[in-house]
Amino acid sequence: MACPAPPARQQKDLCELYAYWSGDGYELINNLWGKDSATSGSQCTYLDDCTNTGVQWHTTWDWQGAPNNVKSFPYSGRQVTKGRTISSISSMPTSVTWGYDNENVRANVAYDVFTSADPNHPNTGGDYELMIWLGRYGSVYPIGSAVCSVTIAGRIWNLWVGYNGKMKVYSFVPPSGCVKSFSADVKDFFDYLQHNQQFPASSQNLIVFQVGTEAFTGGPATFTVSQFYADVI
């Protein structure tokens, strides 16, 4: 999905388009990039706590209209250093615990990682996108089609492959159910792609490393991240 660069301003209650907070190596964005496709609705995102060991936050949204269009992707991300190729990274440890108070919605919950040959590529996208879906509500699906099943981080995933414009998208999706408490090394997913899907790890730079929820329609619903930790080593 597109994630335009946010303005440099510090807030804890984020209700405006691309309202932004950062601290302790993390960032939080009220990303309403698809709101114009909605017939009605709104969203606000709130910082609950943050230290150098992780961030806690929640977002409340209500969107109607254009059921197959993403309206927003509120997310928390680990701030990354420019110029780190995927092959130069030894580990990307992360963990997240999350929940929805209303599951009668169309939405997903996913990690979103962009890479690009250009280390200064805007965080609106990249050459490649790695998504790790942890939840899927309603009949929403990844880009492309399912190509195989693979075991990574002790779990079975269906790998979907497709394109968002020119950006190649790899989506790892649980066969069923939600993974509401997740801990893994995201580098393991890249290693699999490098060795099995021709992902060019030596020439691709890490652009963003984030987790959030793509909201399509439904609500009011509150998505809560009670813990999110990530690092790049």
Give catalytic residue positions: 129, 214
Distance CA 104, CA 161 (A): 27
- 214 burial (CB, 10 Å; 0-12 / 13-18 / 19+) is buried
CA 48 to chain centre: 19
71 within 8 A of 215, measured Cβ to Cβ: yes
Asked if the bond preceding 93 is cis, omega within 30° of 0, the reply is no
Q: From residue 135, how far is each of 111, 142, 175, 180, 227 by CA, in Å?
A: 10, 12, 11, 8, 16
Distance CA 49, CA 57 (A): 7
Distance CA 83, CA 205 (A): 6
Distance CA 209, CA 187 (A): 11
- 134 burial (CB, 10 Å; 0-12 / 13-18 / 19+) is buried
Distance CA 215, CA 184 (A): 24
